[in-house]
Structure 1
Amino acid sequence: MSITPFQALACPLDGTPLHCTGSAWACASGHSFDIASQGYTNLLPVQNKRSRDPGDSKEMVAARRRFLAAGFYQPIAAAVSWAVLTELPADATFSCLDAGCGEGYYLRELATAAGDEQTLALLGLDISKWAVLSAAKEDKRPSWVVGSNAKLPVLPGTLDRVLCMFGFPVYAEFVRVLKSGGRLIQVDAGPDHLRELRKIIYPSLKPERTTDLQTPTGFRRLPTETVCFSIDLTNAGQVADLLAMTPHLYRASAEGRAAAAALAALSLSVDVRLTCFVRDVD
């Protein structure tokens, strides 16, 4: 298997092609974006930030890195890798974006799952500079950029696959950057996901919401796959890491967080829905 950086980046200011000059990406209009010493590029203009330091904090990224490195979500990664690679020729060269890549776990697992003859041009994007920094330190081979799903710094029609893992899908952007027949692989929490933790940190659980996704414009939908399994957290640090990497950290009350912090172990249900959308052929 060969892993290469994704090259078809677009200027976040005017949408024109970016070209790598060695230490920076630049467009014909004269906009230039330095490549950090750690190997990533910040393509999130200041005017597009909603806060000074958007996205996951340094502490949240570190918690996610520890939790995922322990292998708790490996069955999810395996299902995602299969969905990405299925129906691709064994000797294919193809491109994949993880839109909201976090610290890069799912792209690294994808690289491991690919066949020996396949060439992957990989791009990881996240709005958190701490997440992208962590990903770039771990694996130098993909392109890593700080950016937003709301305006992907990617040229139109250049991607074979897009991943959206527990993230914020912007379907119009995904349609724009995918090739005809390309696929969006979207993973969302199911109704029983981390139910045992939620029972501890919330006074009562909200009624189950339907997990049935509508088919977005520009796509046709393939059958949804349910991925369910159990995990056992065996110490307080693992419980704390899981809570820190989820939105529940901020949604829970102080009492709920204290109850979670008191746990020395916890058995949990993992329940996710994996849905593939195929971009319409032009």
Structure 2
Amino acid sequence: MSVEPFETLACPLDGIPLYREGKSWRCENGHSFDIARQGYVHLLPVQKKRSKDPGDSKAMIAARQRFLESGFYQPIADAVTKATLDGTVEQSPIRCLDAGCGEGYYLRQLGSVAGGSALSLLGLDISKWAVLSGARQDCRPSWVVGSNANLPVVSGSLDRVLCLFGFPVYPEFARVLRPGGRLIQVDAGQDHLRELREIIYPEVRTESKKVSETPEGFRRVATEDVRFSLHLAGAEPIADLLAMTPHLYRASQEGRDRAAALESLSLTVDVCLHSFERESEASD
């Protein structure tokens, strides 16, 4: 697929459309946001930050990049790409936001599909390190430092929103999607990485993170379980997996030490992929 420029950014301060002018994005009210030399733009106002350097750290992003580029989660990427393109027609382009994109692995996988319609891709993450990594690896999508709680995107302008192992903000997703547009959401299932959790925690919780109710403003299109086995050989991929998950901070030092001593680990990958369609305004 060809990837075209993303052109429906909105000002994070007043919500009106941004337009590209040289090396900046500007709005009609005079707000201006410079494009970094690496190709991304910072659209997270300082007054909306909860910390000086929010989101995943530089080390976590590097670990995620190494792990994902090794192909361990390829079945998840394939399922996400298939669900994203399902129901699309020959329109140009398909406008897609990855909300909480990390270092951009899933967007790159989507952009590598041969044939079909053109894509207009936007990767957004609250971590500047994530967005910087994505921009360095692939200059075709647009990359933005921003928050799911205040998406810097024009209302009703998107065909797809991806939220993969992220933090869904359904009112914002509903706002930026056009009627008939789809939200593709991936969440951990009950057995996801269970073997690792059994090593690092004294007790493993069994509840699933699957979405049981359809978010307001959407209708459920499909639900798919993606489950497969994974074997990690060597200490580095095990360390990378732990570093890219919230378990790194939730586990005790003793639990992290037990994981660090492993030389191999067989795992269950168990995730649930949901497809929700944005209802028309008359149905809201």
Q: Structure 1 length as normaliser, TM-score? A: 0.98
Q: Distance in 2 between matches of 1:36 and 1:92?
A: 28
Q: What is the 5 A alignment of 1:139-218?
A: 139-209=138-208, 211-218=210-217
* 1:9 corresponds to 2:9: yes
**Residue 272 of structure 1: SS of its match in structure 2?**
strand
Contact 1:136–1:144 under 8 Å retained in 2: yes
**Aligned residue in 1 for 2:52:** 52
How far is the alpha carbon of 1:212 from its aligned partner? 4.1
How far is the alpha carbon of 1:22 from its aligned partner? 1.6
**Residue 267 of structure 2: SS of its match in structure 1?**
strand
Residue correspondences, number = 281
Contact 2:97–2:124 under 8 Å retained in 1: yes
Q: Which amino acid aligns with 1:11?
A: C
**Aligned residue in 1 for 2:99:** 99
Q: What is the 5 A alignment of 1:223-238?
A: 223-238=222-237
String of CA shifts for 1:33-77, please: whole Å, max 9, x gaps: 000000000000000100000000000000000000000000000
**Aligned residue in 2 for 1:89:** 89
Q: Quick one: structure 1 residues 279 and 30, their matched pair in 2 at CA, closer, same or farther if it must change by over 3 Å?
A: same
**Aligned residue in 1 for 2:110:** 110
Unaligned runs of 5+ in 1: none
Q: Which runs of 4+ in 1 moved over 2 A?
A: 89-93, 207-213
Contact 2:187–2:209 under 8 Å retained in 1: no
**Residue 184 of structure 2: SS of its match in structure 1?**
strand
Q: Quick one: structure 1 residues 256 and 278, their matched pair in 2 at CA, closer, same or farther if it must change by over 3 Å?
A: same
**Aligned residue in 2 for 1:262:** 261
**Aligned residue in 2 for 1:252:** 251
How far is the alpha carbon of 1:173 from its aligned partner? 0.2
Q: Which amino acid aligns with 1:132?
A: V
Q: Distance in 2 between matches of 1:22 and 1:195?
A: 49
Q: Which amino acid aligns with 1:183?
A: R
**Aligned residue in 1 for 2:33:** 33
Q: Structure 2 length as normaliser, TM-score? A: 0.97
String of CA shifts for 1:167-212, please: whole Å, max 9, x gaps: 0000000000001100000000000000000000000112324624
**Residue 223 of structure 1: SS of its match in structure 2?**
strand
Contact 1:91–1:117 under 8 Å retained in 2: no
Q: Distance in 2 between matches of 1:142 and 1:211?
A: 29
Aligned residues: CA RMSD: 1.0
Q: Distance in 2 between matches of 1:149 and 1:177?
A: 11
String of CA shifts for 1:93-141, please: whole Å, max 9, x gaps: 210000000000000001112x424100000000000000000000001
